[in-house]
């Protein structure tokens, strides 16, 4: 296979002039579509809440092309937002204390809200998903089994949700903690084959832990619609450089895992409970403390863990032409921190409106 294509889905929060979540997705998307200033193949769509929208790129091979699509999508939403009094924020949780607002009027969303009760109402959170193409479902399962120990590091470098409804949670990624409340969320045990993966889905459907395959919230899963594996651990990133870093790492993890499978290298024998604790630590501290080393399982400085990931992916990153960019991005994050650290630096006293203002401008600038 040539360099694998990838696609990015980023969820954005809509806020009003005061920074509170604003339930205007339908009006915003209608104006954005009418303006016709998106790049070909880019889609802007509704999500679960009326205070959310999603930008979806087409399948791409180059990070630069993905940047162009996402930047144009954000700018189109921002321009259309001025007409309805809202702004898109690339932030993973609402900053200010406001109710989440109504859901999008869709039968599936209504069933979800009824079935999951208060859990659905508390899930106004914005994630970043990266799809990476695979040759078959069998190759996809091989990838899922082999990328597991590296996924907490993707959460750490993307962490962009320290605030939740007017307070500092103490976490770098509060979104990742809320996401764990869903019954099918989190790390998985080694599947081994497609039959085991499908059996898990059948059990979750039987038990009504999920209502459909779209609610399978594993950290990484096979897409039910596309020939891809879908990485789902990242917060939406304010910086497009951070977004593209996630795409490059996801593609390199996929390629490295597929090569290992072809070479007869089996999955690392991690238990799901150990992976869950590693993910918790990544969400709590981001890159400001120690993280679990995916090789040894030891706690090591975050910079050490990120260097280990770079070494693990070096060949795949080099073959895709992404090594220099990823190296530079990881060095920057090690030096300056992740999105959560940037948000905390923007706080003025106890006033979080300065954080919203900073996010409003940085979302459009990327």
Q: Calculate what percentage of the chain has a pLDDT beyond 90.
A: 86
Position 122 pLDDT exceeds 90: no
Cα dihedral 173, 174, 177, 181, rounded to 10, equals -140
| Whether 256 contacts 140, CB under 8 Å | no
The enclosing H or E element of 292 equals strand 290-292
DSSP three-state, residue 306: helix
pTM of the model: 0.95
Position 106 pLDDT exceeds 90: no
Give pLDDT, residue 235: 98
Give pLDDT, residue 36: 75
For the chain, domains (ranges, CATH) are 6-365 (3.30.590.20)
pLDDT band at 118 (very low <50, low <70, confident <90, very high): confident
Give pLDDT, residue 48: 83
Give pLDDT, residue 119: 86
- Cα separation, 8 vs 117, whole angstroms: 29
The enclosing H or E element of 184 equals none
- Supply the angle between the helices 137-147 and 194-206 in degrees, to the nearest 10: 80
Position 1 pLDDT exceeds 60: no
Give pLDDT, residue 345: 96
pLDDT band at 324 (very low <50, low <70, confident <90, very high): very high
Tell me the H-state helices in 9-104. 25-35, 63-84
- Cross-strand pairs, 45: 54
- Cα separation, 251 vs 147, whole angstroms: 11
Give pLDDT, residue 100: 60
pLDDT band at 366 (very low <50, low <70, confident <90, very high): confident
pLDDT digits (tens, 9 = 90+) for 264-321: 999 999 999 999 999 999 999 999 999 999 999 999 999 999 999 999 999 999 999 9
Comparing 306 with 116, which gets the higher pLDDT?
A: 306
- Cα separation, 312 vs 318, whole angstroms: 12
| pLDDT mean across residues, the chain | 94
Give pLDDT, residue 351: 85
Give pLDDT, residue 113: 83
Position 8 pLDDT exceeds 80: yes
DSSP three-state, residue 199: helix
- Cα separation, 301 vs 310, whole angstroms: 15
Q: How many residues does the chain have?
A: 366
| Whether 204 contacts 314, CB under 8 Å | no
Give pLDDT, residue 120: 82
Q: Where are the beta strands (DSSP E) in 84-179?
A: 87-89, 127-133, 163-164, 167-168
Give pLDDT, residue 274: 97
Token output for 327: 């190296």
Give pLDDT, residue 108: 85
Give pLDDT, residue 352: 93
Q: Give the CA distances from residue 278 to residues 17, 74, 130, 163, 223, in Å, rounded to whole numbers and listed in that order.
A: 38, 33, 21, 21, 25
Give pLDDT, residue 314: 98
Longest CA–CA span in the chain (Å) reads 57
Instruction: Please name the residue that has the structure tokens 């993707």.
Output: 154
CA angle 162, 249, 72 (to 5 degrees): 70
pLDDT digits (tens, 9 = 90+) for 173-232: 999 999 999 999 999 999 999 999 999 999 999 999 999 999 999 999 999 999 999 999
Q: What is the mean pLDDT of residues 230-254?
A: 98
Position 33 pLDDT exceeds 80: no
């Amino acid at each position: 296979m040539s360099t694998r294509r990838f696609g990015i889905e980023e969820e954005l929060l809509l806020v009003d002039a005061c920074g509170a979540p604003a339930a205007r997705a339908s009006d915003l998307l209608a104006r954005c579509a009418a303006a016709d200033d998106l790049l070909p193949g880019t889609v802007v769509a509704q999500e679960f809440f009326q205070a959310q929208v999603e930008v979806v790129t087409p399948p791409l091979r180059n990070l630069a092309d993905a940047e162009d699509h996402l930047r144009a999508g954000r700018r189109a939403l921002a321009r259309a937002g001025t007409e309805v009094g809202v702004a898109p924020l690339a932030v993973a949780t609402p900053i200010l204390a406001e109710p989440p607002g109504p859901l999008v009027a869709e039968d599936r969303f209504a069933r979800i809200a009824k079935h999951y009760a208060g859990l659905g109402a508390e899930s106004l959170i914005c994630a970043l998903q990266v799809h990476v193409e695979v040759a078959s479902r069998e190759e996809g399962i091989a990838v899922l089994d082999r990328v597991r120990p590296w996924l907490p590091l993707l959460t750490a470098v993307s962490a962009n949700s320290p605030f939740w409804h007017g307070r500092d949670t103490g976490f770098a990624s509060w979104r990742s903690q809320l996401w764990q409340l869903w019954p099918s969320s989190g790390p998985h045990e080694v599947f081994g084959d497609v039959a085991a993966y499908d059996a898990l889905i059948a059990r979750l459907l039987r038990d009504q832990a999920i209502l459909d395959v779209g609610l399978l919230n594993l950290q990484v899963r096979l897409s039910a619609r596309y020939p891809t594996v879908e990485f789902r651990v990242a917060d939406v990133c304010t910086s497009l450089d951070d977004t593209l870093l996630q795409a490059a790492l996801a593609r390199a993890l996929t390629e490295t895992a597929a090569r290992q499978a072809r070479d007869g290298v089996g999955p690392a024998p991690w238990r799901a409970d150990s992976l869950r604790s590693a993910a918790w630590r990544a969400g709590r501290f981001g890159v400001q403390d120690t993280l679990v080393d995916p090789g040894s399982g030891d706690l090591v400085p975050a910079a050490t863990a990120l260097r280990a990931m770079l070494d693990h992916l070096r060949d795949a990153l080099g073959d895709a032409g992404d090594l220099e960019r990823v190296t530079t991005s990881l060095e920057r994050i090690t030096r300056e921190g992740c999105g959560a650290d940037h948000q905390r630096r923007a706080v003025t006293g106890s006033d979080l409106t300065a954080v919203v203002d900073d996010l409003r401008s940085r979302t459009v600038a990327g």
